[in-house]
Chain A
Amino acid sequence: MEEALFCEKYTIMGSDFERGGEVASKVKAILKDLGIRPDVVRRLSIANFEAEMNVIMYADEGALELRIMPDGVRIVVADRGQGIPDIELAMQEGYSTATEEMRQRGFGAGLGLPNIKRNTDEFTIESTIGVGTTLRYTVFLS
């Protein structure tokens, strides 16, 4: 297995809307500092922000793990929470189980997971009801 050039893990707390976006911002700053192409940084930043907000909205807690590899940036976002009953449905643009509070915060349009997939080159999702959800995605550097 290739060794990561950079590896870091960030905790995300469920329902912490006031801090929603801080992890994605920290990761964006690191990617920019490392001189990664702006279009790659943008795609990852959008995916990370959506994933972070999903943990805040739907999980008790979670973490985003950043691994910068020679060929691409790999992200794992794993949470402990309610899980997703129907992944196929959740991946459909416009499908949402968001509450009114989430919508008032500007999220819950049913675009989060499709948006993550759209902005990444590889994307997988695993979920167990009552246990949690894990997203794995990669954006290649070339």
Chain B
Amino acid sequence: MLLSDVSALLGCEVMGDGAGLHHLDVEICFAADLMSEVLAFCPPRALLITGLASVQAVHTADMADLCAILFVNDKRPAPPVLALAAERGMPLLSTKLGMFAACGELHRHGLKPASRT
């Protein structure tokens, strides 16, 4: 599913430049608020779904080569977080849905969970 379709499906607000969303294909999602779990178990190119809107969320997604971050519960990252994401070219989306609802919708539309290896 294209990231632009994820955004439309969940009624997301796109933070920063959303021009690249039409070119990013998402197949796997990983939902967590603990960044060490992401670093340990999330495969590259996955979509990170989290309620943690800190600089560490952006660094985590960047270090683990993830494709984008989806913030749940209407979380809005502070300006330094937005600036870091822009610098790293990391797309940020924000949905009003909670973690469970957002994950449920994406799973229902065919996105897959990461398998722990």
What is A's interface to B at a CB cutoff of 8 Å?
A: 17-18, 20-22, 24-25, 28, 38, 42, 45-46, 48-50, 53, 103, 105-112, 114-115, 118
Contact = CB atoms under 8 A, between A and B. Distances in A.
Contacts of A38: 65
Interface in B45-77: 50, 52, 54-60, 62-65
Interface of B is mostly: helix
B48 to A, nearest CB: 11
Contact of A107 (B34, B55, B63, B88): B34
Contact of B36 (A18, A20, A48, A50): A50
A3 to B, nearest CB: 28
B35 interface: yes
A50 B55 contact: no
Contacts of A105: 35, 52, 54, 56
B34 A20 contact: no
Interface of A is mostly: helix
Interface residues of B, number: 23
B19 interface: no
B56 A21 contact: yes
Nearest to B33: A106
Contacts of A111: 34, 36-37, 39-40
A112 B39 CA distance: 9
A24 B105 CA distance: 34
Contact of B63 (A17, A24, A114): A24
Contacts of A17: 56
Given A38-B65, A46-B64, A115 B36 contact: yes
Contacts of B113: none
A21 B62 CA distance: 10
Contacts of A108: 34, 36
B44 interface: yes
24 contacts: A18-B80, A21-B56, A24-B63, A25-B59, A42-B63, A42-B65, A45-B63, A45-B64, A48-B63, A50-B36, A50-B39, A105-B35, A106-B34, A106-B57, A107-B34, A107-B35, A107-B56, A109-B34, A110-B36, A111-B40, A112-B36, A114-B40, A115-B36, A115-B39
